[in-house]
A and B are shown apart, each in its own frame.
Chain A
Amino acid sequence: MGQITLQGVQKSFGPVHIIKGADLEIADGSFVVFVGPSGCGKTTLLRLIAGLEDVTGGSILIDGKNVVDTPPAKRGLSMVFQSYALYPHMSVRGNIGFGLKMAGLSKDETNRKVEAAAATLNLTPYLDRKPRELSGGQRQRVAIGRAIVREPKAFLFDEPLSNLDAALRVQMRIEVTRLQKQLGTTAIYVTHDQVEAMTMADKIVVLNGGKIEQYGSPLELYERPANLFVAGFIGSPKMNFVTGENAAQKGAATIGVRPEHIKIERDGAGGWPGTIAVAEHLGSDTFLYVDAGPLGMLTARYIGELSLHAGDRVSLVPDPARIHRFDASGNALRN
């Protein structure tokens, strides 16, 4: 079991208020991702759950029990650090087995479990190596092995893949997701890579400036962002925002439309006219950055190849059904 509940969790470092009251309900077995810009408090929130920092206020419940006064060792969670944090003087076997040794398991039992975990992660040939004799990806797997072998109530990951190269990252992303589903253990995963967030998460927590902006499934956040921040943060390239008269016509202070929901017309009269500043041709997609005069720079995406180039005049027509409306304080308006 691994149900985690945050109730009004706050954290200050001295006079600086970092986490400003977080409420969250994480269901057993789900994969929850914390995303947000750098410095928004993702790591801090994760460390509060782990018990590596003490809360300033509020409570953290694991399976219904308040753990704010429980030391990290007794919370039954395991953590994978961004730096891997392997014990440099221990072999891979020693690293993975350390938690079991601390729990007082017998040598045989420890070995059996360590070998099973190593087999799952393709680490068997490296069991007797020291961490410095491993590649980055292998070290990462050792860190994950150390986390899974203890059969914790939940895994906590702090940007575990950010030190890997792009190809390995994609591969590990899939492995981590598969492993989590297979084990059925609750996982909290911190990242600022929104592709990781969208692909791995059952639910995403968007944090900004120490506050939870929205909590929901990836598609909910994409389709119904609660405010301007979430709308701009989720989705790549970013959502286009238009203010002024065009927005007022729709009864909003700001309207937003995603690049993939804009139709590109070569010389149509309707829509928003502009001149292409930059055209990116990826083969699979074409991205146009259009200078739309008073509306500012707008981004449009076309699936496939579109033979338009910088300097060409186009007209951008937003899909009326997929326009997001926001009020003056930035909150989404629902129809």
Chain B
Amino acid sequence: MARKSTTQRVVVSTIGAWFFGFLIFFPILWMVLASFKTELEAFAIPPSFLFFHWTTENYATVQERSDYLLHAMNSIIIAGGSTLIALLIAIPAAWSMAFSPTKRTKDILLWMLSTKMMPPVGVLVPIYLIYKSFGLLDSRIGLVFILCLGNLPIVIWMLFTYFKEIPRDILEAARMDGATIGRELVYVLTPMAIPGLASTMLLNLILAWNEAFWTLNLSTSNAAPLTTFIASYSSPEGLFWAKLSAASTLAIAPILVLGWFSQKQLVRGLTFGAVK
């Protein structure tokens, strides 16, 4: 009896999990399907799920009308560059706050987080004007800079929590074992911090890749990353569902692949500390 009810529960929860998983995944699936339809079919009511005329012409048009590779390159540079710089600044910052905290450390952390509470649109005009006077509009370096600043608080917070997890005792044990600061860093701290560093880097890459507010407002063509590239398909002249879907599919593909291959690392990193 008891056994039967547990198998029932397993079946029910499995079905439930698949159902919700599918529900969450559905918009992405729908977008991918739409990208293979003709514009007419993409609008059709009732929509056809699988039995439509499959075509790749949208992808051809998208590539023709705009330079996908240029935008993809911009996305890589902007996301990668801002992540790298953010890590370079955040590692020492989080390090010092985790290992030699002062009375003010908590306040500084809170203050940094509070900068994320302000809506970015509140500073759009001043930033736009500053960028204009410095000639940073539509430049990769400008976008790297603003995204780096935008994500820095989150990166520092994440690293801080990871570093805090490393017991002081272990560092002291290394010191007692005769390790100099440099060797302590190489042999003990870095190997212990790598999972945290990796997941912080991944999360930040994804955030920067998908960031749309600043990239849309501060870039037009030369430095425009994939977000701007997608947006260019929802133009006042009319909505092109199929082409918009094709562009979006192309835009999320790289980060989706990256996320897929690193999901183990990501999940481990995001639950580190919460689940031992």
A residues with CB within 8 A of B:
50, 52, 71-74, 77-79, 81, 83, 85-89, 98-99, 102-103, 146, 150
Min C-beta distance of A242 to chain B, whole Å: 45
Task: Provide the B203-240 mask, 1 if CB < 8 A to any CB of A, else 0.
Answer: 00000000000000000000000000000000000000
Partner of B178, one of A73, A81, A86: A73
Contact with A along B160-194 (1 / 0, CB 8 A): 00000001011011111111100100011001100
Closest Cβ of chain A to B177, distance in Å, is: 4
Contact B178 A102 (CB under 8 A): yes
A77, closest chain B residue (CB): B176
Classify chain B: how many residues form its interface, as a range. 10 to 19
Q: Other than A79-B176, A85-B167, give 19 A-B pairs with Cβ distance below 8 A.
A: A72-B172, A73-B176, A73-B177, A73-B178, A73-B179, A73-B180, A74-B178, A78-B176, A81-B169, A83-B167, A85-B169, A87-B170, A87-B173, A87-B174, A87-B192, A88-B170, A98-B174, A99-B177, A102-B179
Task: Write out the residue numbers on chain A whose beta carbons fall within 8 Å of the beta carbon of B174.
Answer: 87, 98
Complex Cα distance A99/B187, Å? 12
Can you offer 7 A-B residue contacts whose CB atoms are under 8 A? A50-B176, A52-B176, A73-B175, A73-B180, A85-B170, A87-B188, A99-B176
Expressed in whole angstroms, the Cα–Cα distance for A88 and B176 within the complex equals 17
Inter-subunit contact A85/B178 (CB<8 Å): no
Q: How many contacts A-B (CB < 8 Å)?
A: 58
Across the two chains, which residue of chain A brings its CB closest to B170?
Answer: A85
- Chain B 25-39 interface mask (CB, 8 Å, partner A; 1/0): 000000000000000
State the 4 A-B residue pairs at the shortest beta-carbon distance, nearest first. Answer: A85-B169, A99-B177, A85-B173, A102-B178
Interface residues of B in 139-172 (CB under 8 A from A): 167, 169-170, 172
Residues of A within 8 A of B167 (CB): 83, 85
Q: How distant is the Cα of A86 from the Cα of B179 in the complex, in angstroms?
A: 14
Q: Which residues of B contact A103 (CB under 8 A)?
A: 178
A55 to B179, CA, bound (A): 21
Known contacts A85-B167, A88-B192, A98-B187; A52 and B177 CB within 8 A of each other: no
